[in-house]
Amino acid sequence: MNDFKHLLNKNVKLKVAGHLLEGRFCDFGNDILVLYRESKYLYIPLTHVQKIILSDKAVIEDNSLSPDLPFAKENHTFFSYRMMLRNAIGLYTQIRVVGKNPLHGTIVNVLSDYFVFYSPVYKQIFIPLSHLKWLTVYEQDNSHYSMYNPIPQKQSFSRSFEEQLKKWEGKLIVFDMGEDPDKIGILNSIKGNLAELISTTGEKVYFKLNHAKTVYLA
């Protein structure tokens, strides 16, 4: 297990997927760490942390300066990325996955290699676990999304991202939030981790699923 005990309650700078984040190092697990920044807790999968720099700002010792962790460990139990996602099911959250703009909504389910996210704007989005950059939880009582009801949590999903996408063959879908026009079109087939898409211009586009960060029905 990664041992970051010497960084607890200290100000650090993190380089995460090209973004520079500064805040207080609050907690960590084998594959995740927690940063308190701008009055919010950021849960950051370690796989996207490129470097950690100890800040020259004063060490924070007073725990009263920040609220309790939304997903605090009990009795020093094991803390992991997957556990954090499961604890966040049903809560209003902000996540960063693609580009500069975050997504707002609710985690509905966590499967073997992806999770299901419900957005009031984009509706149901599938996101591979390997592509979430960070997550933060809203104040639930004051959430501006509290007027929206997420999709039923009992909906059936395939265990793997690839198998779930096979259910959408023949449908118009959007990969990576539509940032690349070539990743918008009819999903023709999924074979051996390779997606075949018929783009809006009628061209066949092929790409590996492990590069797909998000997908939703158009």
Three-state secondary-structure class, residue 111: coil
- What are the chain's domains? 5-56+73-81 (2.30.30.100), 161-217 (2.30.30)
- Condensed to tens digits (0 to 9), the pLDDT of residues 162-205 reads 999 999 999 999 999 999 999 999 999 999 889 999 998 899 99
Burial class (CB in 10 A: 0-12, 13-18, 19+), 5: exposed
Burial of 139 (0-12, 13-18, 19+ CB in 10 A): exposed
pLDDT (0 to 100) of residue 185: 96
Lowest mean pLDDT across 12-16, 65-69, 76-80? 65-69
The H or E element containing residue 172 is strand 172-175
- Cα separations in angstroms, 112 against 81, 146, 193, 213: 13, 28, 15, 15
Closest to 217 in 3D by CA, of 195, 184, 181, 190:
184
**Average pLDDT over all residues of the chain:** 87
**Which helix (H) or strand (E) covers residue 163, if one does?**
helix 161-166
78-123 pLDDT per residue, tens: 689 999 999 999 899 999 999 888 999 999 999 999 999 999 899 9
* d(C-alpha 186, C-alpha 169), whole Å: 8
Q: How far apart are CA 71 and CA 33, in angstroms?
A: 12
**What SS3 class is residue 124?**
strand
Tokens at 104, concatenated: 């707002």
pLDDT at 75: 46
Q: Position 23: which residue type?
A: G
Termini Cα distance of the chain? 41
Amino acid at 47: T
Task: Give this prediction's pTM.
Answer: 0.89
Model pLDDT, residue 145: 56
Distance separating alpha carbons of residues 83 and 25, to the nearest angstrom: 19
Determine the 3-state secondary structure of 183 from DSSP. helix
126 against 90, higher pLDDT: 126
Which DSSP letter does residue 89 get? Answer: B
- CA–CA separation, 89 vs 2, rounded Å? 26
